[in-house]
Amino acid sequence: MSPYENRYWWSNDGIRLHYRNYPGDSAKPPIVCLPGLTRNAREFDEVARRLSPDWRVIAVDLRGRGDSGYAKDPMTYVPLTYVQDVEGLLGELGVDRYIAFGSSLGGIVSMLLAGTGHARLAGVLLNDVGPDIMPQGLSRIRSYVGRSNTWPTWIHAARAVAEANGDVYPGFALEDWLAMAKRLYRLNSAGRIVLDYDMKIAEPFRVPGNEAGPDMWRALDVLKAVPTLIVRGDRSDVLSAATAARMAETLDAGEVVTIADVGHTPTLSEPEAIAGIDRLLARVAI
C-alpha cells in the first residue's frame, strides 16, 4: 500500500498542479515540502515516510515539474508565481498553520511565503539556501538547467547523475545514484529516460535577478520569531558558512546544522539533518 495519495489543485492561470499527501496527525500543523529548481515531490519521499504518520506531509510538485502541468508562459517560472500557487493550495486545504521545508529554490519560496503570512508559519527548514547566493553556485546551475538529455536505461542515467554530482555527494554508491536518478528522471512514451521537468524553466532563471526575487534579507527578517532550521552542506557552492551564520544571528530561534562532506543540497536523510529536523519539530508549538 502506498504511503501517500496523489492529489491535485488548480493554479490561478489554469494549470493543474500535483502534490503527494502523506497522512498524519491532523492536530499538528502539516509539513509543506517545496523542492529545488529541477527537483520534484519525490525529493522528499524519504523524509515524508520517516515523519508520517506522526505528521501530515504535503510534498509539492511546483509548476513544470513532476506530475504538475507545464506553464504556457515560461516567464511564470519564477518564485513569486510559485508563492501564489502554494498560497492557492493552502487556501483550498484550509490550512491556517503549517511548517515549510524548502530545499534550494523551495527555501526561497518558503521565505517569500513568510512575507505573505508569517503568522501561519509554525516552523521553517531552509535546506542549503539563504538570502545571499554564491555566484559560483549560480553559474554552475545555469550551466546545466534546461539542457535535455535522454538515456536508454536507469543505469545509464545513474552514471550521468554521478558524473555531474560526484563532488556534491562523494560518499554515494551506485545504489544511491540510481535512487537519485529515479527522483530526477522519468520514463517517457518512447521508453527513454528523460529529466522530469519542463526545459523552459531555464528561461527566466537565466535572467539576472530572477533567482531569488526581492530583498531576501527582509524576507528572512519576517521569520525572526519562527523556529527555523538552516541545513548547510559544507561543500556547498550556494550557501556560504558566513551567510548561514548571519542568518542564525538574524533569527531569534534559528539553528544551523552543517552536513560534513556534502554539497548542494543535503538529502535531509543524513544523521545530522535527521536530528536537526527532530529538534525543529520539537520546538514547534502545537
CATH code (residue 66): 3.40.50.1820
Q: Which pLDDT does position 259 carry in this prediction?
A: 98
In a domain, 155, yes or no: no
In a domain, 272, yes or no: yes
In a domain, 115, yes or no: yes
How crowded is the C-beta side of 69, counted as CA atoms within 13 Å?
Answer: 16
Report residue 272 as a C-alpha cell: 545530522
Q: Which of 64, 63, 60 is nearest to 7 (CA)?
A: 60
**pLDDT of residue 277 exceeding 50:** yes
Q: Which amino acid is present at 117? A: G
SS3 (DSSP) at 52:
coil
Q: Is pLDDT of 284 > 80?
A: yes
- Residue 48 — pLDDT band, cuts 50, 70, 90? very high
Residue that is written with C-alpha cell 525572526 in the block: 224
For the chain, the domain total comes to 1
Residue type at 68? S
Is residue 102 situated within a structural domain? yes
Q: 89 in a domain, yes or no?
A: yes
Cell 493554479, residue located: 11
Q: Specify if 172 maps to a domain.
A: no
Confidence class for position 115, pLDDT limits 50, 70, 90? confident
Q: How large a percentage of the chain has pLDDT more than 70?
A: 96
pLDDT of 207 higher than 80: no
Q: What is the residue-averaged pLDDT of the chain?
A: 94
As a whole-number percent, the residues of the chain with pLDDT over 90 amount to 89
State whether residue 194 is helix, strand or coil: strand
Secondary structure of 77-92 as H, E, C letters: CCHHHHHHHHHHHHHH
In the predicted structure, residue 211 carries a pLDDT above the cut 80: no
Contact 248, 260 (CB under 8 A): no
Enter the C-alpha cell of residue 90: 493552502
Q: How confident is the model at residue 206 (pLDDT cuts 50, 70, 90)?
A: low
11 domain residue, yes or no:
yes
* CB 64 within 8 Å of CB 89: no
Residue 264's domain spans which residues? 5-136+211-283
Rounded Cα–Cα distance for residues 14 and 59 (Å)? 20
Q: Who's near 59: CB < 8 A, 6+ residues apart?
A: 4, 19, 20, 22, 33, 35, 41, 42, 43, 44, 45, 48
Do the beta carbons of residue 24 and residue 51 sit within 8 Å?
yes
Q: Per the domain annotation, does 182 fall within a domain?
A: no
Cα torsion angle, 209, 213, 250, 126, sign: negative
DSSP-derived 3-state class of residue 231: strand
- pLDDT band per the 50, 70, 90 thresholds, residue 212: very low
**Mean pLDDT, to the nearest integer, of 87-92?**
97
Beta strands in the chain (DSSP E): 5-10, 16-22, 31-34, 57-61, 98-103, 121-127, 150-151, 185-187, 193-195, 228-233, 254-259
Q: Cell numbers 529541477 correspond to what residue?
A: 38
